[in-house]
Structure 1
Amino acid sequence: MSQSKKNRRDFVKKSIFGAVGGVVLAGSNLKAETLPFAKPAELKLAFAGYTFVHFKLKEAIEMIQKVDVNYLCIKDFHLPMDSTDAEIAAFHKRLADANIKGYAVGPIYSKTQEAIDKAFDYAKRVGVDMIVGIPRIEDLSYLDSKVKEYNIRFAIHNHGPEDKLYPNATVIMSHIKDLDDRIGMCFDIGHNMRDGHDPVADIKKYKNRIFDLHLKNVSAAKAEGKTIELGRGVIDIPAVVKMLAKTNYTGHLAMEYEKDMKDPMAGIAESVGYYRGVVDALG
């Protein structure tokens, strides 16, 4: 990391954590507890591509760089599923030039088996080992055959009480528990909370099948809850981080910021600064 980037990161962490995080953390029972890993960086902070749905790739990269995050789950509005090999290579170069790695693709909605085929072909050509997606329940046995064929993991995304297929982690697990262990979940802690389920308890319970995590906070533990800045909601983010560490989580924490989506930079910076302040305070 360049000195200018380090200075910017330190400024974001200190100023935002001091203004927001310190107040919130005071009520989170942090004490002097130490996380069971050597370096905070071992928890890989990322962005869910949907955060930047209103922005072209160039603008998304610039925002990601401003908060010194190095991982992105790729959405198809930035890299279409019918992209050529040359376009995929150019996309990866643009990310690499910004010190960003695309680690997965999705979420991808798959309403037919043919759509599942296309998702796996896309992931293989993009060169990632995980798809975040939403398949039909009746296609789960077909999905099981595809993860075996491609050796690409599939993480089913929960979308809260409005989602008739996968509202929470418990429902996902009930459908996949007997399937290939390369089928797991992209655990959205915000939607899980809006559906009345405790994200900390579910991280502990389903740790072996959580491949990816959408990091966010919500204004209320009910369907009407809205995504807000990471340190301002009803989810105990320090407890989430502690449980991820205790369960030796090795996936990404993909921040999905859905407030002020056409002008998200202030909320993104506050949320990233809060998260880093939490990690610093814990470990």
Structure 2
Amino acid sequence: MFSESSRRSFLQGVPAAMAAASAVPVLNAAVDPVPGDVRLGVASYSFREFSRSLAIKGTKALNTPYLCIKEFHALYRSTPEELDKAKADFQKAGLTLTGGGTVYMLKDDMADIKTYFEYAKRLGMPMMNIGATAKSLPMIEKTLKDYDIQIAVHNHGPEDKHFPAPSDALKLMKDMDPRMGVCIDVGHTTRTGKNVIEEIQAAGPRLLDMHIKDLRDLMNRDSQVDVGDGQMPIVGIFKQLKKMNYKGIVHLEYEINADNPLPGMQKSFAYMRGVNAALRA
């Protein structure tokens, strides 16, 4: 999955990140560092070039217990015993699995949908971020009633023929189970031309998860930069989340510098923690 050189670069960056994180109060998986802060976590896609053990090390270096995993770090095709091992690895590290995905449930096939719920159940996930269609959503809603796992439709911007913006999914969820909601990816949302803060506000209680990133050009997916260095209205987003008393996690999905993401992720976390601190004042 990763080269020896990228592994060495990553491991060399961990001590520095740990040292920087030591200035921040240690987080507890069950207790916010400061009540009312927007809670920050990691989308493990950020560590897509690295093994599960290195993804765990990177998350711990960022001083957060909250991790939303991508399949790279616990494969769908795993045996039950392999999934139990993955779950134990996360637990031993003191990490809380907040969810997984994006999990694509595009088939009109209840048996196929159920396999992903079984996967999430085995790992102890409370939520799945999903790709879905208008036809599969009602089938997914029906299945979740047997599993009590939240479902957050992840929007993927103009290229997404099903749900480009969060509001496109919300239109179909109006009368659905309250455990059905959205995971707003702020970068994909702005690329649709929608106002991301208005999309967050419109989601209300159906906002179950968020993926945060920053773009130098809000319409260009290839312009991603460290959070705070672009045009994304991070302060306004956090203000809106606090106003809504958002209970979910804001997961950093860092899609650049794949061979050595930790320095940019540390910088992004520092900026967002600074926003949290400023909004406390």
Fold match by TM threshold 0.5:
yes
Residue in structure 1 matching 2:230, options 202, 227, 233: 233
Q: Which residue of 1 aligns with 2:20?
A: 8
Residue in structure 2 matching 1:117, options 111, 114, 118: 114
Runs of 4+ in 1 over 4 A off after TM superposition: 4-7, 10-13
Q: Which residue of 2 aligns with 1:46?
A: 41
**Amino acid of the structure 1 residue aligned with 2:60:** Q
Q: Which residue of 2 aligns with 1:63?
A: 58
Q: CA RMSD in A?
A: 2.3
**Amino acid of the structure 2 residue aligned with 1:182:** R
Distance (Å, rounded) in 1 between the aligned partners of 2:116 and 2:205: 23
Deviation at 1:110, TM superposition (A): 1.7
By relative contact order (CA 8 Å, sep 6+), the higher-ranking structure is 1
Q: Which residue of 2 aligns with 1:151?
A: 148
Deviation at 1:6, TM superposition (A): 8.7
Say if 2:228 is the partner of 1:216: no
Distance (Å, rounded) in 1 between the aligned partners of 2:278 and 2:22: 14
Superposed CA deviations along residues 13-45 of structure 1, whole A, max 9, x for unmatched, are: 9xxxxxxxxxxxxxxxxxxxxxxx992575321
Contact 2:17 2:262 in 1 (8 A): no
Contact 1:132 1:186 in 2 (8 A): yes
Residue in structure 2 matching 1:246, options 219, 238, 243: 243
| 2:176 alignment partner, SS class | coil
Distance (Å, rounded) in 1 between the aligned partners of 2:91 and 2:106: 33
List alignment gaps of at least 5 residues for structure 2.
1-15, 26-31
Of stretches 256-265 and 215-224 in structure 1, the one that deviates more from structure 2 is 215-224
Say if 2:279 is the partner of 1:282: yes
> Aligned pairs, how many?
257
Deviation at 1:247, TM superposition (A): 0.1
TM-score, normalisation: structure 2: 0.84
Residue in structure 1 matching 2:194, options 190, 194, 197: 197
TM-score, normalisation: structure 1: 0.84
Deviation at 1:148, TM superposition (A): 1.7
**Amino acid of the structure 2 residue aligned with 1:93:** A
Over the matched positions of the two proteins, sequence identity in percent amounts to 32
Q: Which residue of 2 aligns with 1:32?
A: none
1:90–1:275 distance in 2 versus 1, CA, 3 Å: same
Deviation at 1:101, TM superposition (A): 1.3
Deviation at 1:169, TM superposition (A): 1.1
Q: Which residue of 1 aligns with 2:29?
A: none
Superposed CA deviations along residues 136-195 of structure 1, whole A, max 9, x for unmatched, are: 221122112112222211100001111111111111111222222211111111110111
Of stretches 225-234 and 167-176 in structure 1, the one that deviates more from structure 2 is 225-234
| 1:257 alignment partner, SS class | coil
